[in-house]
Amino acid sequence: MTDEQVKKKFLYINRRAPFGTIYALESLEVVLIGAAFEQDVSLAFLDDGVFQLMNNQDAAAAGMKNFSKIYRALGDYEVRKLYVEKDSLDLRGLTVDDLMPITYEDEEDDYNEKPSLIFVDKAEMAKLIADQDVVLSF
């Protein structure tokens, strides 16, 4: 990317459960494409979208492949900001401990692992959305 080119900030909002529809998987595929084009990519998980980050998912009953482990590899694609709305977790009876530990290796800090999950309230989420160049909702 040249100095004249500016990275656009892309936020992918995930509002649906991981299985039963194709939205969650399609969102993940689009995120990987955006990252491949060196955009500033982040994800937001609201409403039932928080279920996409749950530990020990079982997709067998839905007849779908479990793609949840791909979230753990997003740091390798420089997707390091996964925003989780705290109210959505609370309303669904979930805690931070129910979610997968998703980290990335920080090259600027001797490759130490850092958390990718960032927990925000509704006001912080609204500000985050307003600060983006492109917002796509799934």
Domain limits of the chain? 9-137
Give the pLDDT score at 2: 54
If 0-12 CB within 10 Å is exposed, 13-18 middle and 19+ buried, where does residue 72 land? middle
Where b means 16+ CB within 10 Å and e means fewer, 85-104 reads bbebbeeeebeeeebbebbb
What CA–CA distance (Å, rounded) separates 77 from 128? Answer: 21
Q: Where are the alpha helices (DSSP H) in 78-121?
A: 86-91
pLDDT by residue, tens only, the chain of 138 residues: 454 567 899 999 999 999 888 899 999 999 999 999 888 999 999 999 999 999 988 777 777 788 888 999 999 999 999 999 999 999 999 999 999 999 999 999 999 999 999 999 999 999 999 999 999 999
Closest CA to 108 of 69, 80, 88, 68: 80
Looking at domain 9-137, which of 3.40.50.1100, 1.20.900.10, 3.40.1260.10, 3.40.630.10 is its CATH number? 3.40.1260.10
Q: Which two tokens stand for residue 125?
A: 């989420």
